[in-house]
A and B are shown apart, each in its own frame.
Chain A
């Protein structure tokens, strides 16, 4: 356990001495033991904070998040076509406050002597820290791309203003437009996300601008849920035939992007120069800045003990979600929340001097191919005994079966929307 800072302990002692004497011993426990600071209010951090308070209400849990509203990246592809508003993706932190989490809106900047230090100068001492900063984009890895270029060619891969920008560009595109998407090599957040986006935009084109087309330029030769996507694209968008609404160019066929020409409205890939009426660049990614700045992610992603999600570099600091190296567990919101809860359990076990408990983790990930056509992948994972990796349990998990009828796909679409409502209620304590 990280040592308490002397100053904080004295402050706690002073607070105790000035507290009403009737409260006595329980106040000692609350004030002096078990301070957890969570950095990041996305699904990983929020799930960890909520689980800590639900399981051990007397722990002091502080969540540091830069913005009062978090826009979920999951379901944001629906906002690109007007099927839902960008605002509907926002989730606030009031539900976590109601669970007893102290929510602080500030930018976590570093870790110093067992304290999380914020840009405002505020310092938060911790006994255990949970770091869940998500991903950052490696603008430098793609010549010609930058934050400024993202105003012309949005990434829309962190939800919010970028989502709204890409939605406006798609709405303004003429019939006959080409929508060019670039997809990076693995690993990146939400592996099937770009392909879901391609399908939902194709559905929007089919209904509104039927002479238009989606062109996917990929740095990979295969992708998540590929056979399910291709089956759905064939059924809905004529994929693989002349006049298809979606074309996918693999790396082998020249799809890997080498340069972005934002001013010229084009991208340069192995196969040549591709001009688009609307261009969406999904950039290569790395662990969120906080994780890199404090030295948790020397190789770009944070390595953890997969039993507790405690960093292999900084003791007492747990990393969950997209910023971590999570073996075969994909970078998804559901994975992040599962890991956040598991980290919370490990932290409680450590603080209460209990034997560590572990249980299987789940990932469930839905992808839309059209608004009424959805497929899924699930996985049940368990850490191996020495915490070196997460393994899928034999015979479990996997993809939706191929060859199912529209009714089956529509049921998965209903489950996906129900998942979104329940997941928000669970992770951020949002009222139903």
Chain B
């Protein structure tokens, strides 16, 4: 119920509506269609890990020209940063909460530390086995986004880290 954005019309959705739903459902669908798409802003580089919600109640302007009245999905928690960080989980654990002490957890460490470490690996200023080779694929801006993303995650992780 948080944010809403319009989605592409499909034949099936039209069928659903044509089948004649309860008035409340139709009203909700029309309301949803009146909310403009969140667009690139919600997919921008955000450390929060979630797209920016668009609250239906904030919209007082006239509806855009005739978008089809279909229900909308809420805004997904897919940000540019979470996509950038996705492969890191392969070695550092889901949400940066490593389940094996040999590989450091990333979640909840300070952004400054994370950025400094990644930069040092990349520039061969710190010894590493694989991290230097990986970090050389990322520029300063991407390193800053990754550092902010992991810094904002809870240190104990959704799955509970450092159990062993």
Contacts and interface: CB of A to CB of B under 8 A. Distances in A.
Interface of A: 1, 3-6, 8-10, 12-13, 16-17, 21, 24-26, 28-29, 32-34, 51, 54-59, 127, 334, 337-338, 341-342, 345, 348-355, 357-362, 364, 376, 378, 380, 393, 395-398, 400, 408, 411-412, 414-415, 417-419, 421-423, 425-427, 429, 431-432
Contacts of A28: 16, 21, 25, 28-29, 71
Interface bin, chain B: 35 or more
Given A6-B15, A25-B25, A353-B6, 14 more contacts: A9-B16, A25-B31, A32-B71, A55-B78, A357-B43, A376-B129, A380-B134, A393-B137, A396-B135, A397-B134, A411-B129, A415-B130, A419-B91, A423-B91
Interface stretch (B58-66, B95-103, B110-118): B95-103
B2 to A, nearest CB: 10
B12 A396 contact: no
A13 B26 CA distance: 12
5 contacts: A25-B31, A29-B71, A54-B77, A395-B136, A397-B137
Nearest to A338: B87
B12 A348 contact: no
Contacts of A393: 136-137
A25 B71 contact: yes
A28 to B, nearest CB: 4
Given A33-B7, A412-B129, A415-B103, A355 B73 contact: no
B83 A359 contact: yes
B80 A359 contact: yes
Interface in B55-109: 70-78, 80, 82-84, 86-94, 97-103
Interface of B: 1, 5-8, 10-13, 15-16, 19, 21-22, 24-25, 28-29, 31-32, 37-40, 42-43, 70-78, 80, 82-84, 86-94, 97-103, 129-130, 133-138, 142, 159-161, 163-164
A33 B92 CA distance: 33
Across the A-B interface, give the 6 residue pairs with the lowest CB-CB distance, nearest first.
A4-B12, A380-B137, A432-B99, A25-B28, A56-B76, A396-B137
B87 to A, nearest CB: 4
B138 A380 contact: yes
A105 B142 CA distance: 40
Nearest to B82: A55
Contacts of A16: 16, 21, 25
A12 B12 CA distance: 10
Contact of A58 (B24, B74, B80, B160): B74
B91 to A, nearest CB: 5
A166 to B, nearest CB: 27
Contacts of B102: 414-415, 417-418
